[in-house]
Amino acid sequence: MAYENIIFEIEENVAIIKFNRPKALNAINPALLADVRDVLEKIEADPSVKVLILTGEGEKAFVAGADISHMVNLSPLQARLFSQEGHDLMFKLETLSIPVIACVNGFALGGGTEIAMACDFIYVSENAKFGQPEINLGIMPGFGGTQRLSRVVGKAMAKELCMSGGMISAREAKDIGLVNKVFPPENLWEETMKTANVLASKGKVSMRAVKQCIDRGFDVDMRTGCYMEADAFALCMASPDGKEGMSAFLEKRKPEFKGEVS
Ligand code: CAA
């Protein structure tokens, strides 16, 4: 199925969503949210897909935020719904059973920073720019920026970004722990795919367990997190991939992970 606001492709085991409204710097409107929602359901139902990459079409932007021309006329109740739809999508990305990499090739502002933060980690080009500029519009972040940013970079840095509305460079974003790696623009895609292929070569069951333990464990006390880890560890040990991976090591061969759950 062709989508109006995104390009969706699958290359071997790697799914790719490109935000595709380059004339509006890939700004997010409800139709784009709906397209992404639809694709995430397809991805979750396809056992062959092992990694998802999100990126922006065009040279300039990952996503320059929510579409201001859409937001300007929203009633308070419509604005609440728009924000909740955004939140739902961020939670869907965060809880997707496979790893999600944000490949940020330019502006990631407002909703763009918020989408990137809902991914498992962020690779960026040297020309990427992050920020929560909503305050400049007399509004505030609405897709989780005040919540995720403080959890990722700490309260003081989150406040500085959300209160000043300023942009930070790729290097600054790396320094504050918002992004994992910075590449020259011409290398960004290749490096992102390289990592995606590494992740795709692992077992789906243990990959999901790692993602869930780190994410869910972050919201609870250390001891509860460790209980969760012990249970997940036991399940991985009992899984066909766990048996295959450990046997392959002992037999000095490459493991063949099938992601079976029985
Ligand atoms: N919404 C709607 N249209 C947008 C947009 C946005 N968020 N960002 C850029 N565009 C449009 C511009 O209006 C322009 O359209 P026209 O060519 O039709 O005039 C086109 O994209 C190109 O943009 P610029 O000419 O402004 O490009 P620039 O290189 O001079 O500046 C920019 C780039 C600094 C990113 C600037 O476009 C900008 O400041 N954009 C707005 C960023 C922003 O405020 N984002 C937060 C939105 S609110 C939000 O996201 C709330 C939330 O949490 C849910």
Q: In this structure, are 63 and 132 located in the same domain?
A: yes
The token duo for 148 is: 């995720």
Residue 52 has pLDDT above 80, yes or no: yes
Is 259 touching ligand 1 by the criterion CB < 6 Å?
A: no
Residue 261 counted as domain residue = no
**Distance in angstroms (rounded) separating the CA atoms of residues 68 and 71:** 5
Q: In this structure, are 38 and 148 located in the same domain?
A: yes
Q: In this structure, are 209 and 92 located in the same domain?
A: no
Residue 89 counted as domain residue = yes
The token duo for 34 is: 């709906």
Q: Which residues pair with 8 in a beta bridge?
A: 17
Q: Report pLDDT for 222.
A: 97
Q: Which atom of ligand 1 is nearest to the CA of 61?
A: 35
Q: In this structure, are 216 and 166 located in the same domain?
A: no
The token duo for 38 is: 């639809």
Ligand 1 midpoint to CA 211 (Å): 33
Q: In this structure, are 36 and 143 located in the same domain?
A: yes
Ligand 1 midpoint to CA 24 (Å): 7
CATH label of the domain that carries residue 234:
1.10.12
Q: Which atom of ligand 1 is nearest to the CA of 109?
A: 45
Catalytic positions are 114, 134
Residue 1 has pLDDT above 90, yes or no: no
The mean pLDDT value for 184-209 works out to 97
Q: In this structure, are 220 and 184 located in the same domain?
A: no
What share of the chain has pLDDT > 90, as a percent? 97
Q: In this structure, are 14 and 61 located in the same domain?
A: yes
Is 84 touching ligand 1 by the criterion CB < 6 Å?
A: no
Domain that holds residue 195: 6-200
Rounded to an integer, what is the distance from CA 1 to the centroid of its chain? 23
The mean pLDDT value for 156-168 works out to 98
Q: Report pLDDT for 99.
A: 98
* pTM for this model (two decimals): 0.97
Residue from 25, 62, 89, 161 to probe ligand 1 pocket by mutation (most atoms less than 8 Å from CB): 25
Residue 158 counted as domain residue = yes
**Distance in angstroms (rounded) separating the CA atoms of residues 93 and 115:** 9
Q: Report pLDDT for 262.
A: 75
pLDDT (tens digit per residue) in 82-107:
999 999 999 999 999 999 999 999 99
Residue with tokens 């502002």: 109
Q: In this structure, are 13 and 125 located in the same domain?
A: yes
